[in-house]
Amino acid sequence: MPLTPQATPTTYWLEHAWLGTHVEPGVTVDVADGRITAVHKGAATPPPAAVVLRGLTIPGLANAHSHAFHRALRGTVQVGSGTFWTWRELMYSTADRLTPDSYYALARAVYAEMALAGITCVGEFHYLHHAPGGTRYDDPNAMGQALIAAAADAGIRLTLLDTAYLSAGFGAPPNRHQLRFSDGTAERWAQRADGIKADREHVRIGAAIHSVRAVPAEQLGTVADWARERQAPLHVHLSEQTAENEACLEAHGRTPTQLLSDHGVLGRRITAVHATHLTDEDVALLGDSTTGVCMCPTTERDLADGIGPAARVQGRGSPLSLGSDSHAVIDLLEEARAMELDERLRTRTRGHWTAAALLRAATADGHAALGWDDAGTLEPGALADFTTIALDSVRTAGPLPRLAAETAVFAASAADVRHTVVGGRQIVRDGVHTLVPDVPTALAESIAALRG
């Protein structure tokens, strides 16, 4: 059964709850019509008929940056050595084999894996629009509709970040792989994006600029205006590779961040993904405009991209979110932990973020980056999306319950997620997905179907 809000009022009893600043024992959460209607402290034992969630319950995790089809690359791209650019060639070969039906099957399995990891909302950076060679499907948004259906059937929320991808590089036409990504111009991209059917409660539509190398400078404003007029989130890959910075400087005499600023592509509803190689001026431009930054540490280290200046951009004013990007792993707790631990390696000092700050990046700020400002907190009026992490596993047993947030961030993994609730409905119960009972088989079969 696809995602629908829980209509019958339900009370959940949380053994321990993270309430944004601290861990509170014995909390009841009342839910009706998919939203939290009341939160009560001091419930030492479960009320009659309450659904019992033992462990630490936190707001649902928001995966702010995903390329669902990259999940098919796990393991394969870890063989041998290479760079981002050699990895990209393997990625293209997988993209070439996808159809709307096979993409639905893969994405449903990937989104189910996310639900098992406590993720209740995903931002899908979607640029795989057309058939190989660039031929349009009868429904020009067939691939996006497959993702929308997949998220519904896996029980999680989706922000479809429909992506403009027009060029292979500064002034270069799309290569043969990229033809299925491209609408030709930003105007034609906007026309197609206007046709996406998004009349389901679990989905919101945003926009994305793949990168400054993939959208000509004079067309950046068209995408930004489309998002601004709809008050929709806009995401962009930014300075992930030094080669992109060098090519941008050669083409425009500007860094990618400066180029975005010149064309009005910075601001509160905009999120820069990666932002790994920034100048001091870049940091100031992002922070002063309150442009968000999405860090994807497990992918950034898997591709040897480097360590982004997360502490610096946040200190300047950019809210931080987290994403699993290429899905080398799907574990938002690991993304949160990695952001802190990578900064420790760089600076050789500890304690750049508290556990509460890292959880905020993984929950409320991630949801805000995806246009779900009404999610990411355990408060009345918020969407009833939350997840429970076991405190009695081999990774989490031992610490005092009041330290459960620190335990979750610095010791737990996605394997410790016991329950996931979306819209008041249990999507994961006792570690089992209620809509996709055998997620490993769904993953294995959908990935095997793509092998050449």
Per DSSP, the three-state class of 92 is helix
Give CA separation, 129 vs 104, 270, 304, 328, in Å. Answer: 13, 22, 28, 23
69 strand-pairing partners: none
CA distance 218 to 225: 12
Residues 120 and 375 sit within 8 Å (Cβ to Cβ):
yes
Distance CA 127, CA 343 (A): 31
What's phi and psi for 135, nearest 5 deg?
A: -65, 135
Q: Comparing C-alpha atoms, which of 241, 139, 117 is closest to residue 196? A: 139
Whole-number Å distance between alpha carbons of 105 and 444: 11
> d(Cα 80, Cα 78) in Å, to the nearest integer?
6
Sign (positive/negative) of CA torsion 213, 367, 110, 148?
Answer: negative
φ, ψ for residue 404 (rounded to 5)?
-65, -30
Residue 416 is classified by DSSP as G
- How far is CA 187 from each of CA 164, 221, 333, rounded to the nearest angstrom? 10, 10, 39
Element (H, E) at 66: strand 61-66
Active site residues: 274, 325
Contacts 24+ apart (CB under 8 A), 389-398: 389/55, 389/56, 389/57, 389/58, 389/118, 389/333, 389/416, 389/417, 389/418, 390/54, 390/55, 390/416, 390/417, 390/418, 391/16, 391/54, 391/55, 391/56, 392/55
Gap between the Cα atoms of 269 and 393, Å rounded: 39
